C-alpha cells in the first residue's frame, strides 16, 4: 500500500486528485472537481483521509479581479482544511511542477523553446496539453472512462502535480 496523497489544483474550477500507490489499475485513485464550497471541499478530504496534501501554490495572474479572488479563496480554503485536520502540506509552484512537461514539449517540438535564435514551432501547444499527452501515454487505461476525459484543464494540473511529487519525492 502506498502513501495516501491528495494533489490539488485550487483554481476555479479546480481539481482534487486522491491516490494511494501508483496511478493506474494497481493503485487507488479518485478525482473530484472542486466546487468552491468549503463544506463540500472539507467532506472530500474527510472521506478520502489523505496522509499528505500537495497543493499548487498559486498567485494572482492576468485574470479578472473576480477570478483572482476566487482562486485565492479556494487556495486559502484548501490550506485551512488541511491545517484544521492536521494533515501536512507540500506547496509547489506552477513553474516548478510544469518544468518537466515544458522540457518534454520542447523536446518533441510541441512548445516553443525560450531564448534567442531558436526555430519557431508551428502550432505550439500549452504545457497542459503536454501533460495530457504524456498522461495518456503513461496511463492509457484512464482514457477509457468518459468521466475522466471531461474537464481536461484542472485534471491535467492535478495529475501534473502528482507526477511532480512522484519524481521529486519518490512516492
Predicted pLDDT of residue 143? 65
Reported residue count of the chain is 171
Predicted pLDDT of residue 151? 53
Q: Give mean pLDDT in consecutive 10-residue pieces for the chain, a chain of 171 residues.
A: 84 81 66 85 93 89 76 90 97 88 78 65 69 74 61 71 86 67
CATH class of the domain at 4-169? alpha beta
Predicted pLDDT of residue 49? 93
Residue 64 CA to residue 149 CA, distance in Å, equals 27
Give CA separation, 14 vs 31, 145, 159, in Å. 11, 19, 12
Predicted pLDDT of residue 152? 58
Amino acid at each position: 500500500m502506498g502513501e495516501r496523497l491528495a494533489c490539488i489544483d485550487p483554481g476555479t474550477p479546480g481539481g482534487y486528485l486522491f491516490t494511494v500507490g501508483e496511478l493506474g489499475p494497481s493503485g487507488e485513485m479518485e478525482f473530484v472537481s472542486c466546487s468552491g464550497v468549503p463544506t463540500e471541499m472539507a467532506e472530500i478530504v474527510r472521506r478520502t483521509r489523505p496522509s499528505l496534501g500537495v497543493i499548487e501554490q498559486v498567485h494572482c495572474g492576468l485574470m479578472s479581479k473576480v477570478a483572482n479572488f476566487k482562486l485565492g479563496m479556494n487556495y486559502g480554503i484548501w490550506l485551512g482544511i488541511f491545517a484544521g485536520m492536521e494533515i501536512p502540506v507540500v506547496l509547489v509552484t506552477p513553474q516548478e511542477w510544469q518544468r518537466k512537461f515544458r522540457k518534454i514539449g520542447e523536446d518533441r517540438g510541441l512548445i516553443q523553446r525560450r531564448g534567442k535564435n531558436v526555430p519557431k514551432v508551428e502550432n505550439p501547444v500549452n504545457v497542459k496539453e503536454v501533460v495530457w499527452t504524456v498522461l495518456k501515454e503513461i496511463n492509457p487505461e484512464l482514457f477509457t472512462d468518459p468521466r475522466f476525459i471531461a474537464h481536461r484543464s484542472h485534471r491535467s494540473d492535478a495529475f501534473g502535480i502528482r507526477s511532480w511529487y512522484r519524481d521529486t519525492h519518490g512516492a
